[in-house]
Structure 1
Amino acid sequence: MKKYAILMCCMGNICRSPTAEGVLRAKLAAAGLEPLVELDSAGTHEYHLGRAPDPRTQRAALRRGYDLSALRARKVGLPDFDRFDLILAMDRANLDGLALLHPDAGDKVRLLMSFATCHDADEVPDPYYGEGDGFERVLDYVEDACDGLVAMLQQRLQRPAD
């Protein structure tokens, strides 16, 4: 059986999208869905190719039990549109960039926050240049959206009873 494949996308792939990948991976494992889902993250720009997530991102994630240290930044490419069933952008700018890269992607490309159930925001804000609790806010939003995404996947990937 082919795994359902999800790609998380932000600008540089060192803050928001690796956070979303790490959070979703943990939530999929807790729900017993990890073997059924392929997961990755990428950036719409190539600013940080091959770099680990931002140290501030890693520290905030570790405080909540998510280890992002093995992840490395990469740039999204055209083959990703064939490989992944769902490509989730962190904000409208990256959603627009993905649509420019592959105008025929349709509803395969969406905002991650479209799965959120507790937060009313439609974008995960970029914490890179900010101060204060920006990385915590990213985690709050991403955890909420990933809970909604796991609920959708549980329905979609639910195996019929034997």
Structure 2
Amino acid sequence: MIRVLFVCLGNICRSPMAEGLFRQMVQQSGHDARIEADSCGVGDYHVGEPPDPRAIREARQREVDITDLRGRVIRQEDFNHFNYILCMDADNLSALQEMAPDNGRAQVGLLMDFADDSTGVEIGDPYFGNTDNFGNVADQITAGCRGLLRHLRLEEASD
């Protein structure tokens, strides 16, 4: 089983959209028995809360339902449970790298490192922006998730 954890600041905008969009791609590719996804935040601001209504609306426009997801904060055990812990921006990456144990198995990085020609690109936080920002963010997440799925298929083929 390949396990992927998507991370943003509060786990109500970017990371739940990434989890939902990626799950849909995995299911459509027929790999849902081998790849699982989850999401969390580096901060505990929204633990137990559903995704932001704007994130829910944007996901729904892409035929993805994320209404059942609830915010949670990253835990130490996540660094050994997941193969990949992928965050949305440099601040989240820095926070993850500080809390990662030396012996953690997860590859920690930016989601956009898997998108074509987007290494090092961040996915900005749309929380304080307008609804259009959520569409742009969802487009970036989609590109990153497509690249990640391609990568995992190649990785899977080499196993």
Q: What's the TM-score once normalised by structure 1's chain length?
A: 0.91
Paired residues, number? 158
Q: Secondary structure at the match of 1:48?
A: coil
Deviates more, 1:40-49 or 1:148-157: 148-157
Q: Which residues of structure 2 form unaligned runs of 5+?
A: none
Aligned CA distance change for structure 1 residues 87 and 48 (closer, same or farther; 3 Å): same
Q: Secondary structure at the match of 1:143?
A: helix
Cα distance, 1:39 vs structure 2: 1.0
Aligned CA distance change for structure 1 residues 82 and 18 (closer, same or farther; 3 Å): same
Q: Secondary structure at the match of 1:146?
A: helix
Identity across the alignment (%): 40
Matched, 1:93 2:91: yes
Q: Secondary structure at the match of 2:38?
A: strand
C-alpha RMSD over aligned residues: 1.8
Cα distance, 1:158 vs structure 2: 3.0
Letter in 1 for 2:136: R
Q: What's the TM-score once normalised by structure 2's chain length?
A: 0.93
Residue of structure 2 equivalent to 1:108: 107
Cα distance, 1:38 vs structure 2: 2.0
Aligned CA distance change for structure 1 residues 52 and 151 (closer, same or farther; 3 Å): same
**Is the contact made by 1:118 and 1:144 (CA closer than 8 Å) also made in structure 2?**
no
Moved over 2 A (4+): 103-107, 118-121
Residue of structure 1 equivalent to 2:144: 145
Letter in 2 for 1:130: G
Q: Distance in 2 between matches of 1:138 and 1:13?
A: 14
Map 1:125-136 → 2, pairs under 5 A = 125-136=124-135
Map 1:67-86 → 2, pairs under 5 A = 67-86=65-84
Cα distance, 1:121 vs structure 2: 6.6
Q: Distance in 2 between matches of 1:121 and 1:99?
A: 15
Deviations 1:39-62, CA, capped at 9 Å, x for gaps: 100000000000010001000110
**Is the contact made by 2:80 and 2:105 (CA closer than 8 Å) also made in structure 1?**
no
Aligned CA distance change for structure 1 residues 119 and 140 (closer, same or farther; 3 Å): farther
Q: Which residues of structure 1 form unaligned runs of 5+?
A: none
